[in-house]
Amino acid sequence: MKNVQHKAALVTGGSRGIGAAIAKRLGRNGTHVAITYHTSAAQAEEVVHTIRESGVKAIAIRADSKDPQAVTAAVKQAYEYLGSLDILVNNAGIAVYKDFSLFTLEDFDQIVAVNVRAVFAGSLEAIKYMGQGGRIIHIGSCQAERNPFPGGSLYAMSKSALTGLTKGMARDLGPKGITVNVVHPGPVNTDMNPSDGVHSDDQRALLALRDYATTEDIASLVAFLASSESSNITGAGLVSDGGTSI
């Protein structure tokens, strides 16, 4: 993926898990990287330090994804620090699991604010700075299409919304030479969903490959979509879920 050298990327929610792996992978490929974080300042600085070891620029920007103005400001700050913005990875997200009867309007507003509205707000700001060859990549979930366990109604809804948003954005931004795609991971070994967690055996039973993905598995797919190798792919939902949705 050497064709992303000297490009500039913003990865939201890049202080840990999938977001950190994506940010580091882009840095290793020669891309200058900004990440956002909300509360994990120390982890964010560790990620930035690792990225800078690859000889590229890196910065951590504090932004609460529930606040669209903070998201917009973070995109602008990333552009100003890096000097350009070619790649936006909308990774930041939350999950709220409850029996449907226990959900509240506050739960709905919160998950939509972070998982959908922040993606819209960040993308809307980012296209001000992107030109031909721009890349916008959303991180969805295999639960957008398959929801095998109870309690995930709102999470599934929010990730499913990204599919429609991706297709609409791809159609609108195609004439500008900007591609828009969404990656749908399945179970990934992170601190939020560890492969040895309470519900890991139930999730593993759904996998054709019988084991969790690593964060690098997802990062490698995002790195491909960020590169010119994917120039003819837009409006697509790419699934990397170990066969969960078969």
Domain coverage including residue 82: 2-240
pLDDT confidence of residue 118: 98
The one catalytic residue among 37, 129, 155, 212: 155
**Count of alpha carbons within 13 angstroms of residue 155, beta-carbon side:** 20
Query: Is 144 domain-assigned?
Result: yes
Would residue 227 count as lying in a domain?
Answer: yes
The region of weakest confidence among 84-93, 196-205, 216-225 is: 196-205
The answer on pLDDT for 226 being more than 80 is yes
Q: Which amino acid is at 229?
A: E
Count of the separate structural domains present in the chain: 1
**189 Cβ neighbours under 8 A, 6+ residues apart:** 195, 212, 213, 214, 215
Contact 185, 240 (CB under 8 A): yes
Is residue 146 in some structural domain? yes
Diameter over CA atoms, the chain: 51
Q: Is the pTM of this model over 0.85?
A: yes
Is-catalytic flag, 155? yes
Tokens matching residue 32:
């200058």
pLDDT, mean of residues 6-31: 97
Q: Which of 90-104, 165-179, 182-196 shows the lowest mean pLDDT across its residues?
A: 182-196
Residue 182 lies in a domain: yes
What three-state secondary structure class fits 136? strand
Structure tokens at 225: 């979509």
Decide if 178 is inside a domain.
Answer: yes
Give ∠ CA 111-113-118 in degrees, rounded to 5: 125
Q: Is the pLDDT of residue 2 over 70?
A: no
Query: What CATH number corresponds to the domain at position 122?
Result: 3.40.50.720
Closest CA to 13 of 158, 154, 119, 130: 119
Residue 201 φ then ψ, to 5°? -65, -40
- The helix/strand/coil state of 62 is strand
Using only the alpha carbons of the chain, give its radius of gyration.
Answer: 17
Residues 15/60, Cβ–Cβ less than 8 Å: yes
Instruction: Summarize pLDDT for 98-157 with one digit per residue, the tens.
Output: 999 999 999 999 999 999 999 999 999 999 999 999 999 999 999 998 888 899 999 999
User: Does residue 55 sit in helix, strand or coil?
Assistant: coil
- Give 38-57 pLDDT, tens digit per residue: 999 999 999 999 999 999 99
Residue 246 within any structural domain of the chain: no
Other CB atoms within 10 A of residue 32 CB: 28
Specify the pLDDT at position 176: 97
**Higher-confidence position of 226 and 1:** 226
* pLDDT value for 246: 78
- Segment 225-237 shows an average pLDDT of 97
Report the pLDDT value the prediction gives residue 100, as an integer from 0 to 100. 97
Query: What is the per-residue pLDDT for 212?
Result: 87
Q: Is residue 7 part of a domain?
A: yes
> Mean of the per-residue pLDDT values for the chain?
95
Helix (H) / strand (E) element for 28: namely: helix 17-28
In a domain, 245, yes or no: no
